[in-house]
Amino acid sequence: MNILLVVATSGELAPIAAKFGAASVRDAALVRYTYAGHMIDALVTGVGMVATASHCSRALTRDAYDLALNVGVCGSFDPSLEPGTVVHVVCDRLAELGAQDDERFLTIQEMGLLGEDEPPFVKGGLVNTTPPANGALARLAAVRGITVNTVHGNDRSIAVVVERFRPQVESMEGAAFMYACLMHGVPFAQVRAVSNRVERRNRHAWKMAEAITRAGEAALSIIEHA
């Protein structure tokens, strides 16, 4: 199987690549490995939606893949998803794509610029309707996410976005990855480990190292079961 493994940073790739062994460098962002009988192209996109969408589309245009796997960390709005929990994001939204109407926020669909079910959207979201049949992936909790340019750290803005979209997690890349995969028709999964609760910025409470380790373990298990 040919697998595209997508991460935002080299730090998120490190614990996974340590298990892969020898590699061949394809370009500044992409390295090829062989592991568990699979060819794996590891793509480090950089942080954010623009970089993720650009690098993913380039990779998916250049080569054919049987599976694209996005692995990273996220913040949690859901109290039951404690730091270290690994989740499968099956629905994601571009939470900031829209306009302000005084105190009201209008989504791009409410503005009439995009249909609720205009591909690749489903009811205004990006949905993985047919996730890969994979035992390791199936064991993960399926959750709803939002993708943002500015991570939430203000009580009022957190309350507003939770009321609007009911997200369980947020990241800075997930929806861009899903959008690219849906447009290219590639089977995919977005897998993340919770590094922190979404709250007023409190780095002392973050468990970033643990989250990166747990996300890496989940990625390896998914690859081994592919």
CATH of residue 105's domain is 3.40.50.1580
Q: What is the pLDDT of residue 37?
A: 93
pLDDT 10s digit of each residue in the chain, 226 long?
Answer: 999 999 999 999 999 999 998 888 888 899 999 999 999 999 999 999 999 999 999 999 999 999 999 999 999 999 999 999 999 999 999 999 999 988 888 999 999 999 999 999 999 999 999 999 999 999 999 999 999 999 999 999 999 999 999 999 999 999 999 999 999 999 999 999 999 999 998 888 899 999 999 999 999 999 999 9
Indicate the helix (H) or strand (E) that contains 137: helix 135-138
User: In terms of residue numbers, what domain contains 77?
Assistant: 2-224
Q: Global pTM? A: 0.95
Phi, psi angles (nearest 5°) of residue 183: -70, -30
Q: What is the pLDDT of residue 21?
A: 83
38-44 and 30-35 beta bridge pairing: antiparallel
Q: What is the pLDDT of residue 123?
A: 93
Q: What is the pLDDT of residue 187?
A: 98
Alpha helices in the chain (DSSP H): 10-20, 49-62, 135-138, 155-165, 174-184, 208-224
Q: What is the pLDDT of residue 25?
A: 85
| Amino acid at site 42 | A
Q: In the structure encoding, which two tokens stand for residue 122, read together?
A: 């489903």
Tally of structural domains, the chain: 1
